[in-house]
Structure 1
């Protein structure tokens, strides 16, 4: 699986003309230009029970913490993210589309979960005070197929564009390079690396038994 993953990353970088960076944490230029990507198998769309972002209470819960200060935010709400993600997906050929989001209410944070396929899932936590998204997790459970890894790599690119639309092609792809994923000799088992672009922190994690993750969060999160 490691070789397949590295090969797909390398192919994306070569085909988009990406240049590597030697810094582990850098800030990027702001320029809106489209990004291209190699063709991959289209991921199956998830079925959803609503046509728009809806809110559903899991159970009656206290709201005492709703007025707490916001420790971190990506600066967009669920509806805005859905629009940004679907727009970013068009740059890759519309391989992914979020048809609807159902907001689940929690005690401290609200959340949503979206399944693109059985192996590719997106989770997000939402601040109660202003409904802004606090963190987004893209998770894949590898099944040994190139298709699954290809779809995850593509979804990584879409998530980066959706949360950082002003990055140019080189900066978008340099995030993956900064993770070290273009190096065929890199060890991606139990890996945790981060890159920051425009105050958005992208963390790439692998965990035996827990899959592969890409996390988008606030680089200035208050601990």
Structure 2
């Protein structure tokens, strides 16, 4: 018994004496560093092109005329204010230049808001961010979320996940409707 205990003690000492390598493994040049946060597979100009193509498909005159990146504290961004007063803001990663979020905002500004305009703009954004989403599916997605947000029993913010994109609709009485798309 004494021999077994001594043998086990010797094994423990040998195991404890071996060096433990706490350094991270070397990365090969073929491995890519994952971005710090989820991002779309397109940059600001590519999103603007997809948005304009989707708007044309819908027969709408919404267009992103020019992408002018503004440098922000956390993200860079560009903003487009449309003729109707609706606005679209896209957050852009400082590291990669890819879009990390898109927000369409319909402000009331004391006037009756045309809910149909935010519905159309939301459908265009959904189609631009998920090209596999057909017009009919985008319309159904937006309408269901709009009805859910207008319901008194609704969750605070209706949201859906489609093709690795998270869509959220907010309806604040003082601000208006916010349609947001971000990579999931």
Q: Same fold (TM over 0.5)?
A: yes
1:202 to 151, 158, 167: 167
1:125 to 91, 96, 104: 91
Q: CA RMSD in A?
A: 2.6
**CA separation in 2, counterparts of 1:175 and 1:70?**
29
**CA separation in 2, counterparts of 1:83 and 1:167?**
17
Q: Where does 1:10-159 land on structure 2 (aligned, <5 Å)?
A: 69-117=35-83, 119-142=85-108, 143-145=111-113, 148-159=114-125
Gaps of at least 5 residues in structure 1 are: 1-66
**CA separation in 1, counterparts of 2:159 and 2:122?**
14
Q: Where does 1:179-198 land on structure 2 (aligned, <5 Å)?
A: 179=145, 181=147, 186-187=151-152, 191-198=156-163
Deviations 1:131-179 (A, max 9, x none): 000000000013215xx32221111111111111111344322312442
Deviations 1:198-221 (A, max 9, x none): 0000000011212210000111xx
Instruction: Give the paired residue count.
Output: 150
The list of structure 1 runs, each at least 4 consecutive aligned residues, that deviate by more than 6 angstroms after superposition, is: none
Q: Residues 119 and 95 of structure 1: is their aligned pair in 2 closer, same or farther, counting only changes over 3 Å?
A: same
Higher relative contact order (CA 8 A, sep 6+): 1
**CA separation in 1, counterparts of 2:46 and 2:123?**
18
1:172 to 135, 138, 151: 138
Q: Residues 150 and 188 of structure 1: is their aligned pair in 2 closer, same or farther, counting only changes over 3 Å?
A: farther
Find the counterpart in structure 1 of residue 3 from structure 2: none
The two structures have a TM-score, normalised by structure 2, of 0.72
Q: Residues 189 and 207 of structure 1: is their aligned pair in 2 closer, same or farther, counting only changes over 3 Å?
A: farther
Deviations 1:21-74 (A, max 9, x none): xxxxxxxxxxxxxxxxxxxxxxxxxxxxxxxxxxxxxxxxxxxxxx99431112
Find the counterpart in structure 2 of residue 215 from structure 1: 180
1:92 Cα offset (Å): 1.4
Contact 1:72–1:218, Cα closer than 8 Å, also in 2: yes
The two structures have a TM-score, normalised by structure 1, of 0.60
**CA separation in 2, counterparts of 1:82 and 1:88?**
10
Q: Which has the larger radius of gyration?
A: 2
More helix by share: 2
Contact 2:148–2:158, Cα closer than 8 Å, also in 1: no
